Chains A and B, each alone.
Chain A
Amino acid sequence: MKSLTSKIGIVIIAVLIIAALFAPWIAPHSPGEYHLDKSFAGSSLEYPLGNDADGRDILSRIIYGTRVSLGIGLVVVSISLVIGCIVGMAAGYSGGYLDKIFSFISDVFLAFPGFLFAVAVAAFLEPSVINVMIILSIKGWVSFARLVRGQTLAIKEREFIVAGRATGLKLPRLFFKHLFPNMVGPIVVNASFGMAGVIMIESSLSFLGLGVPVTTPSWGVMLDQGTKYLLIAPHLSIYPGIAIALVVLGFNFLGDGLRDMLAPKNR
C-alpha cells in the first residue's frame, strides 16, 4: 500500500465507517427534523451543508445515509462472497457437469448488464432495504464464483493440494485450510471493487425510486429528491452526489492499491 491513492482510499473509507457507526453522535441534527423557515437555506454555521426543501439538515441526512450505503454494500458483498466461494470452489474442484452447469448459469447472468438486471428485478418488488440486498446479491455472487473457480482450477493440481488429498483430508477442511488461503488476495481485491459497484447500483436504483424506500435518508433518494429543485437549490443534489462519488472512489482506490500489493501479475 505504497501509493498515495490507496492511502486516500483508506482514509475516505475509515471516515465513512466512523460516520456510519457513530451517526447519532456525530450528526448535528436529527435527519427527520423539519425547519420550514429554513427551506432551501444554503450553508450556515448551524447547518454546514444547508437545508433541504422542508428545512431538514443535509449534513445530518448524509451522515445517516452512510449507514444505508455501507450497510447494504457490506451485506451484499458478504453474501456474494460466501456463496461465490462455495459455488466457485465446488465447480472448480469437481469439474464435470457441475462445472458446466455453473458456467452456463454465469454466462446467463453475464448476459444481463448488471444494472439492467437490478432494475428488472426491482421493478417487481416493493422498495425496501432487504429487497435491495436480495436483488444485488442475486447477481453479485457470480463474479466471486468465477474468480474462485478460476483460482481453484489453477491451484488444485499443485503439489500441496494433491498431497493433502492423498493424506485423506476431508473436503471442507481442504477447501478452507488449503485452497482458500491461496486466493484471499484476489478475493479481497474483488470485494473492494464489489463494494464500489454495489454502492453505485444501490444509489442508482434508489435514484430511480426502485431501491430503498424514499422515506429512508439514503444518498440515492436524496439525490432524486434534490434534482427536482436543481434550478433553485443545487446544493440539495450536489452534496449527496459527492458523498456517493467519494465512497465509490475510496473503494476503487483501495481496490487498486490492494491489487498492486496482492496480485501484481494482474496489472
Chain B
Amino acid sequence: MKRSVIVIRGVAAFCAIIIAVVTFSCSKAKGEKALRVAIESSPVTLDTRLATDAYGIKISRLISDGLFRTNDRLEVEPALVEKYEQPDDKTYIFHLKKGVKFHNGMPLTANDVEYSYRSIKDGLIKSAFKASFNRVEKIEVLSPDTVKIALKEPYAPFLTLLTIGIVPQKVAEEMGDNFASSPVGTGPYKFVRFVPDSIVELIANENYYGTVPKTSKLLFDIIKDDNVRMLKLMKGDVDLVQNAIPPMLLSKVLETPDLKKKEDTGVTVAYLGFNLMDPILSKQDVRKAIAYAIDRDSIISHRFKGLAVKANSILAPGNWAYDKNLKEYEYDPVKAKSLLDKAGFKDPDGDGPKNRLEFVYKTSNNKERIDIAQMIAHQLRKVGIGVRVEPYEWGKFYSDVKKGNFQMYSLSWSLLTEPDMFYDVCHSSMWAPQGVNRNRYKNAEVDKLVEEGRVTMDRNKRKDIYAKVQEIVLDELPYVPLWYEKNVVVYRDDLKDVKLRPDASFYTLTEIKKK
C-alpha cells in the first residue's frame, strides 16, 4: 500500500530532475551582437548545390559564394571570378580571384570549381540542377586558378547557373551526404550550427575577400506560426523579419514604437493558369473574360493591404527584359460578360443563381492562397462563371498541375530573373510533366522567339525578342499574371542600413549594423 506513495514520490523526483536539466540546458547565454532574423520555415538543405527551396537558397548562398552572384538589379555579376572571357558562344574561360580561402583555411582552387559543378553534372550528389548542367560539354582545369567550361550549344543565361556556390572538394568528398549538415564555403558567413525546424546560426567570415559582414553573428530563428513570429518581433526577441508577416497583420506589428518598415517591389508573381486542352478554357474569349472579371485592385487593397502590384507579365517590372508597353486587363465585368456571350456562354437567368459555365479551380492548401482563391471565385461568380475552389495538399496539387489534371489553378513564380524562363514556361517542347509549360501552350511564333532569345548574346536584341514574347502571351493568356508581391522588411530601429533587394535575398543582411 505504501508503494503507491513511493511511486508518486519517484515520479515527482523524476520530474524535478528533468526540469532541472531543461532549465540548465536552456540557460545558454544569448549572443550579444547577434542579428536575429525570424524565418517561417526550415531550409531543406544548406548545401548550395542541392538547395531549391527559397530559404535553402538564400541562406546557403551566404555560406557559399559561386563564381557569380545576382546583384540588386537582378543582374549577374562576378563573385569568385576576377575576370572571364568567351572565345566563342559556347566556351567560357574563368580566372578565379587570387588568395580566396574557404572557411576552413584551405585556398580556393580551380579544382574545387571543377569538382563542385562536376558533382552536380555527374550526379555525385542528387541535385535538381543536374538537368541544367547537362548543357555543359566539358569542365577543364587549365591552371590552379583558371577553369574552362564548354557548352554543347550556346546558352545565353548560362552564367546565372554559376551563382550556385563552390564547395571545397576535399571536405565535400570526405563528408558525402553529411556535407549539408556542416557546409563549408567561401561566403561572407561561416556555418556554425543548424537544428532543423529550430535555428540556423552563422558567424561572420573575418577573412572574407569582399566586405566583411557588419554584424558578427547571424541567427535565423525558424518560427512557423505567424502569431509567434509577430509577437517575438514585437517583444524584441527577434530583430528583423523579411516577407514573413501576413499583410493583414502588419499594421498591428507596426503599432510597436521601436519597429520600422521598408517595402519595395519584388519578383514573386502570382498567376492563374489555364488548361488549354480543356474544352471551356481553350477558348481565348473565356480566358479574357476571366482576366476582366477579376477585381485585382480590391484583392490587393483588402488582402495585401497594398503590398502587391498588379502584374501583366511574369517578369517583374524591375527586370531588364520587362516590356514597359504591355497593356493591362482592367476590371471590367461588362466586358467580361460580353466576351462570354461571344464565346457562346449565354446567361441562363440574368441575375439569377444559374451560371453560364462551371469549372474547378485548384489551389494548394496554403491558407492565404485558399482565401484569395475564394475571393476570386466570388468575383467570377458575379459575371456568371461558376467556379468551385478545390484546395489540395501540396503534393497532390503539384502533381495534378504537372499531369494536366486541372482546369484552372493558381501558383506563383519566384526568383525569376532570367527571361529565358519564357522558354520553359511557353515553348511547346516544354509541356509538363517534362517541362514547366503547365498550361500546354503552343504558339509557333513564341516557340521561334524563345529559341532565338536563348542563343542571342546581345542584350538589346534579346530585350526586343522577349518584349514580343510578353506581348503575344499577354494577348493569348495561357495564364493570367495576377500581381507581384512586394517585399517587406520589418526591423527594430536599432538596426542601421537595412535594405531590400527585389529578389529578397539575404545578402542585404551583411550590410546591417546593430547599435
Contact = CB atoms under 8 A, between A and B. Distances in A.
B249 A232 contact: yes
Point out which of A32, A36, A213, A228 has the most chain B C-beta atoms below 10 A from its C-beta: A228
A266 interface: no
Contact of A231 (B249, B298, B392): B249
A232 B250 CA distance: 10
B495 interface: no
Nearest to B299: A36
Nearest to B234: A231
B81 to A, nearest CB: 45
Contacts of B375: 34, 54
B248 A231 contact: no
A53 B248 contact: yes
Contacts of B378: 32, 34
Contacts of A214: 365, 367, 370, 391
A107 to B, nearest CB: 25
A215 B370 contact: yes
Interface residues of B, number: 24
B98 interface: no
B302 A228 contact: no
A11 interface: no
A215 B370 CA distance: 8
A228 B391 contact: no
Contacts of A227: 227
Contacts of B324: none
Interface string B355-390: 000000000010100110011001000000000011
A215 B389 contact: yes
A54 B303 CA distance: 8
A229 B251 CA distance: 12
A225 B374 CA distance: 14
Nearest to B373: A215
Contacts of A26: none
A42 interface: no
Contact of A209 (B298, B302, B365, B374): B365
A232 B252 contact: yes
Nearest to B301: A36
Contact of B371 (A53, A127, A232): A53
B296 to A, nearest CB: 14
B144 to A, nearest CB: 52
B2 to A, nearest CB: 29
A225 B368 CA distance: 9
Contacts of B15: none
Interface string A126-165: 1100000000000000000000000000000000000000
Interface of B: 226-227, 230-231, 246, 248-249, 251-252, 298, 302, 365, 367, 370-371, 374-375, 378, 389-393, 396
